[in-house]
Structure formats: structure tokens, C-alpha cells
Amino acid sequence: MDIVYSEDCALHDPPFELTRGVVKPYVESPARLESIKKAVDSQPDQFHIISPRDYSLTPILNVHKEDYIKFLSTIYDDWVKEGLPKDAVMGECFTHLNNLSQVDPDIIKETALMTPSGRMGIYVYDLSIAFTSKTWLSTYTSAQIALTGAHKLLELQDANNKKANGNASAIYALCRPPGHHANCCVAGGYCFVNNAAVSVKFLQDYSLEEMNAMSKPLEFDPKKTTVTGEPKPTLSDKPKKKIMIVDVDYHHGNGTQDIFYDDQSVLYISLHGYPDYPFFTGSTKEIGKGQGQGYNINIPLNPKTTTDAIYLDHLTRVLQENQTVQDFDADIIVCSMGLDTWHEDPIAGMKGLKDVETYFKIGGLLRNSSSCKGRPVLFIQEGGYTVEKLGQLACRILQGYIDS
């Protein structure tokens, strides 16, 4: 299996975070990536590392608002220019639903956006978000890794079809920072750009030929990757591909849910600890709206009582028995692959999920369950914080896919 990886994703390295009243080393650390890289390197017969290509900002702007991307790419320099401390940019005052009713929206544009802290309050929603000098480089690279994964997936599917060999097609995009808590216009939960959403839209909006034409070597130039209002792409006129996102990260992917909430061409399924971070979303009542009603499936699980068997039972049932999922008949599967369901995870974990083979079985279900069988799968790395264990857990999911 090809794994898209770049060491530039390790450069985003905030010195600390503030969680539940405690200042601690940044949990979403570069070491996470190194653990996974080391484990896949030790299995050269199964895994093959490839470098990301560059598809420009345009596919990112099909998911995220231009002003938000401009903010992500400029906030660190703006902050330093104001003479603020260079170690890390963190918010101090966040916009709050219950505190804005008397505020004229124009005032927000005119004044709140004038200061770096005001912008942090508009575009960031929690204290896990910290910018360093290299945050935008890692974030941009992480998104290009997801896009490269999407491109390679279509290429592989095309090659397998031509050879009529019936081989399964899968790619692993080893993204960092993760993405599923970011929506069109706010960052949170260690997430800046929603890598899964960006790859989903890319798979829907571009043909393999268009991807081939736009793929360039990745040479990061902060000037070129600062938003200047690039044109939107021409969409191919073929019927839209149906994409099923299976989010197995411990946390609810509130950003991904929000981005596709009214979209019937993207079915979002999430299994997550509940109630827990991000605290306000993830209930079974969130089913999608408008055309997208019915195409959002939340499976909240009790973190204290969920065991390997219970977890696998829920995943099996939704992928094999749920009528909406069967009828959806996805063309492509995108797996938001978090590894933080593991019982020892320092910030998450299902207390009864203790068997590494559960991860192998998750990979097997993504290969062989009735709603996934025969469809290409793009694995996108999300969370997971048991640093020493991550390589093994990632490999078991991917091997479960390969060997099942």
C-alpha cells in the first residue's frame, strides 16, 4: 500500500496547550508522526512511502472560506509584527453564541478583525489551537497529502480496472495536523484544514485527467500559498461521485459533519465517545438537513463501558445492516482514521477497547463489509495520542484491509 508522507508535517510544534485548567506539552506532537513512520518503514514488503504533490490552494478553497485560509496563512507573521511573543499564537477571547446578539455584524468585520487576538477569537474555537512559525507549512502539506492520496487512489483504481485484476485499491494519507474538527471557517481540536473534506470534494469535483494536469512538485513558497483569490475550478459534468466517510476517531468529527450536513452525495458516519470533546455535537439527533437529511449517522458510545466487541458490533451493524448505508451504495470510501479509541489514550480512549486485533478487524470491515466491498478506500490520519503505540495501531488497520 502506498503511504503519502512528508517530514514537513512534523514542523508544526507548539510548545504547550491548556486543557481543563492544566498547562501541558502539546499532545498532538510531531512524535506521533514519527511513531507511525517508523512502524510502516519496518514493513517494506507491505508499505511504500511516497511524497505529496502540490494541487495548489484551489481544492482547499472548495471547502474553506477564503478569509479563513488567509487568516491561517498570515496570523503567525501578523502576531509577531505586533510585537507579541514568538513561541506560539493562542486565542484569549472567543466569540460566543450568547454574547453576540447585540453586536452588529459589520462591527465584527471592522473592528474584531483588526487585531490578531480578535482574529483568533473569530476563527478559532478552543485552546488546542496554537500557531508557530511552521504551522501553515505543515497544514498546507497535510492537505496536499490528502489530495495526493485522492489522486493516487483514482490512479490505482484505474490501473486495477484496466488490468481487470479485481485488486482492491487503498491509499493511506499520513496527515498531520489532523482535520475533522475544522469546518469551513473555524479551527479547533488541533485541526486547521479539514483534510478528509478537502479530499472528498476533490474526488467529486475533478476527473483523474484534471488531477493529472494540475499535479506539480511540492515546493512550499509561503508567498504563493498566501490567498490571493484563485479562481474556482471547472467541475466535471459527470454525475457526482457518492462518498461515504467512516470516521473511527474517538472524537466526533464536528467539522466534517458540518461541511457535508446538507449534502446528500456525502454520507458521514461517526463512531465516537459521547459525551466528550467537542462536547456540543455527536448525538443521534443530528441526521443532516435539507437534501442531506438522513445522510449523517452518529453513533455515540459510552467511553467507560465500550469494549472491543461492542465497538466492532456497532461498526459491523452500520456497515452491513443499516438500510440507508446499503442504499447509498458509495463509489468511494474515505476513512477518518483516528487511533485514540485505544484504552490507554491519554486524552481519549474507550476503557474496554484493549485488543490490538480490533484495529485489524476495523481494516477488514472497510475491505469486506457489504457497503465497502469493491470500493476504493482512502485512509486519512486523524488523532491518536499513545505515541509509542500509534505505529502498531495504524499498521493493524491497514494490514486488516490488506489481508482480509
Residues that bind ligand OKP (CB under 6 A): 17-19, 126-128, 178, 180-181, 189-190, 249, 251, 277, 338, 340, 347, 382-383
Residue 383 makes contact with Zn ion by CB under 5 A: yes
Binding residue (CB under 5 A) for Zn ion from 32, 53, 251, 361: 251
Nearest approach, Cβ of residue 350 and Zn ion (Å): 12
Cα 152 → chain centroid: 17
Residue with cell 479509541: 341
Nearest alpha carbon to residue 1 among 378, 392, 381:
378
Q: Which does 8 bind (CB under 5 to 8 A by kind): ligand OKP, Zn ion, none?
A: none
Binding residue (CB under 5 A) for Zn ion from 340, 341, 375, 380: 340
User: What is the C-alpha to C-alpha distance for residues 234 and 226, in angstroms, rounded to an integer?
Assistant: 22
- For ligand OKP, the closer CB: 74 or 392: 392
Q: Which does 178 bind (CB under 5 to 8 A by kind): Zn ion, ligand OKP, none?
A: ligand OKP
SS3 assignment, position 266: strand
Residue 249 makes contact with Zn ion by CB under 5 A: yes
Instruction: Return left, alpha or beta for 290; rule: phi > 0 is left, psi -120 to 50 is alpha, else beta.
Output: left
Residue 252 makes contact with Zn ion by CB under 5 A: no
Residue with cell 508535517: 9
Binding residue (CB under 5 A) for Zn ion from 52, 233, 300, 338: 338
Q: Which does 189 bind (CB under 5 to 8 A by kind): ligand OKP, Zn ion, none?
A: ligand OKP
User: What is the C-alpha to C-alpha distance for residues 28 and 206, in angstroms, rounded to an integer?
Assistant: 32
Binding residue (CB under 5 A) for Zn ion from 125, 202, 250, 385: 250
Residue 332 cell numbers, joined: 468511494
Neighbour count for residue 337 (Cβ, 10 Å)? 31
- For ligand OKP, the closer CB: 249 or 263: 249
Nearest approach, Cβ of residue 250 and ligand OKP (Å): 6
Backbone angles phi, psi at 244, to 5 degrees: -105, 125
Nearest approach, Cβ of residue 303 and Zn ion (Å): 12
CA angle 110, 115, 117 (to 5 degrees): 125
Nearest alpha carbon to residue 384 among 399, 372, 396, 400:
396
# residues near Zn ion by CB under 5 A? 6
Q: Per this entry, what is the length of the chain?
A: 404
SS3 assignment, position 334: strand
Nearest approach, Cβ of residue 387 and Zn ion (Å): 14
Instruction: Name the segment binding Zn ion (CB under 5 A); options: 28-36, 168-176, 234-242, 251-259.
Output: 251-259
Site of interaction with Zn ion (CB under 5 A): 249-251, 338, 340, 383
